[in-house]
Amino acid sequence: MRSYWDTTAWQAYDVVVIGGGIIGISTAISCAERHPDHRIVVLERGHIPFGATTRNAGFACFGSLSEIAHDIDLMGIDAAHDLVRMRLDGLRMLMQRCGADDIAYRNDGGSEVFLEDHPALARIDDVNAILRDVLNQNAFHERNDLRAAYGLSHDVVALIHTSHEGTLHSGKMLRRLWKLAAERGVEIRTGTTVTSITSDYSSVRIHCESVQQTIDIRCSHVVVATNAMIPSLVRSSAIPTILPGRGQVLVTEPIPGLSLRGSFHMDEGYYYFRELDGRVLVGGGRNIDIDGEATLSHDTTQRIQDVLEHVLRNVILPHHPSINIEHRWAGTMAFTESKQPVVAVAEPNVIVAFGCNGMGIALGSALGDLCADLLDQQKWAHHQLVTRP
């Protein structure tokens, strides 16, 4: 049995956020900034965060030329334009919160490399025109001169560059955000796995397990930001299907004389690489085994790692034949069929946020702010509900 002190001080909150990744912690920060008097707690299953936010590639990007061209075909010009705007707004908010130095942000630009002719290359002027009001200048430029400067293979037939993309240290970024949340009065409980949520119109009960303890927390509202794991806690026909996708990465040893700078996209975003502290990080390859990579597992696989090494040795570092790999890891992303992110009320007083579709560094802060908007509306709606005669 819990004591009176436990139930009133440790098990009652205004807002509970489940998941300490970029969306969860950004939600907590936005809520705390709007309502300094609210009791807000973030529940994170890992002793340190254990999600995509600290397993990604650290691209602060808004979409490459071929990705945006694809988005325009998929969702139409207006929706693709607004999605780019949301990514850029999210990046601005992130930089305002964190500052460049604390998260090792570098603005060396981003490039998309093509190994063969691609229809998107002929659409560069159209895409630039669509995005001009968001960036106040052209987003993309053809810069084939950079292929040699970066030491890339002669197989690269075209290089499209943007100066609006940067790279950062994802671990430092999330640590900075956690610190900021704590400074705003947010409590963060690590090693706490939420196993169920029960909601009604008056409150939400959250059942958690941590080391040698199970605990029930009551709150007015909960935000579930557990990425592709959301369906294990919330099953609702009110939200679009979440499609999990594993992303795999490798990082080389330090490479003397490395001329690669900035971040790179290839094959409509299915491959990506960047310079990282004098090393090369390569990721992607999901397209060669879409079904196999639709998993929540954090294991790496030989098949994908071999493809990443092939790209490393043949496209990125053709002049460095024997490079050792020092790090390999994987993480899970949450995709949606529409490629649109989702912030929605799934059940009474239960909000879900997901669907960064591989661009959570850009979208995470913006989605956190949208969650805070929705929480404010929910409170208003709830107020209406209980005070209606």
Ligand X SMILES: Cc1cc2nc3c(=O)[nH]c(=O)nc-3n(C[C@H](O)[C@H](O)[C@H](O)COP(=O)(O)OP(=O)(O)OC[C@H]3O[C@@H](n4cnc5c(N)ncnc54)[C@H](O)[C@@H]3O)c2cc1C
* Residue 34, SS3 per DSSP: helix
Q: Does 244 bind ligand X (CB under 6 A)?
A: no
| Near ligand X in 172-201, by CB under 6 A | 193-194
Choose between 123 and 234: whose C-beta lies nearer to ligand X: 234
389 vs 374: CA distance, rounded Å: 24
The CB-of-225 to ligand X minimum distance in angstroms stands at 5
The CB-of-297 to ligand X minimum distance in angstroms stands at 12
Choose between 51 and 317: whose C-beta lies nearer to ligand X: 51
Q: Does 58 bind ligand X (CB under 6 A)?
A: yes
CB atoms within 10 A of CB 337: 11
Choose between 262 and 364: whose C-beta lies nearer to ligand X: 364
| Near ligand X in 83-122, by CB under 6 A | none
87 vs 303: CA distance, rounded Å: 32
The CB-of-236 to ligand X minimum distance in angstroms stands at 16
309: left (phi over 0), alpha (psi -120 to 50) or beta: alpha
The CB-of-335 to ligand X minimum distance in angstroms stands at 10
Choose between 59 and 123: whose C-beta lies nearer to ligand X: 59
Q: Does 258 bind ligand X (CB under 6 A)?
A: no
Q: Does 249 bind ligand X (CB under 6 A)?
A: yes
The CB-of-387 to ligand X minimum distance in angstroms stands at 34
Scanning 17-25, 92-100, 235-243, 312-320 for contacts with ligand X by CB under 6 A, the matching segment is: 17-25
Q: Does 358 bind ligand X (CB under 6 A)?
A: yes
The CB-of-179 to ligand X minimum distance in angstroms stands at 16
Residues, the chain: 389
The CB-of-320 to ligand X minimum distance in angstroms stands at 23
Choose between 258 and 353: whose C-beta lies nearer to ligand X: 353
Scanning 57-65, 134-142, 148-156, 380-388 for contacts with ligand X by CB under 6 A, the matching segment is: 57-65
Rounded to the nearest angstrom, the gap between the alpha carbon of residue 105 and the centroid of all alpha carbons in its chain is 16
Q: What is the secondary structure of 209-266 as a DSSP string?
A: EETTEEEEEEEEEEEE--GGGGGGT---TTSPPPEEEEEEEEEEPP-TT----SEEEE
The CB-of-37 to ligand X minimum distance in angstroms stands at 25
Q: Does 19 bind ligand X (CB under 6 A)?
A: yes
Question: Which helix H or strand E contains 91, and what residues bound it?
Answer: helix 77-98
The CB-of-192 to ligand X minimum distance in angstroms stands at 6
Tokens for 16?
A: 């509970």
Q: Does 18 bind ligand X (CB under 6 A)?
A: yes
Q: Does 52 bind ligand X (CB under 6 A)?
A: yes
Q: What is the secondary structure of 298-333 as a DSSP string?
A: ----HHHHHHHHHHIIIII-TT-----EEEEEEEEE
Q: What is the secondary structure of 152-183 as a DSSP string?
A: --TT--EEEEESS-EE--HHHHHHHHHHHHHH
- The mark string for 277-316 relative to ligand X (x by CB under 6 A, - otherwise) is ------x---------------------------------
233 vs 216: CA distance, rounded Å: 15
User: What interhelical angle do 77-98 and 360-387 show, nearest 10?
Assistant: 100
User: Of 30, 55, 103, 165, which lies in the binding site for ligand X, with binding defined by CB under 6 A?
Assistant: 55
Choose between 258 and 282: whose C-beta lies nearer to ligand X: 282
The CB-of-351 to ligand X minimum distance in angstroms stands at 13
115 vs 370: CA distance, rounded Å: 39
Choose between 80 and 361: whose C-beta lies nearer to ligand X: 361
Q: Does 27 bind ligand X (CB under 6 A)?
A: no
197 vs 350: CA distance, rounded Å: 9
| Residue that is written with structure tokens 């696989």 in the block | 301
What's the Cα-to-Cα distance from 232 to each of 102, 245, 246, rounded to whole Å? 34, 16, 17
Residues that bind ligand X (CB under 6 A): 18-24, 43-46, 49-53, 55-59, 193-194, 225-227, 229, 247, 249, 283, 331-333, 354, 356, 358-362, 364
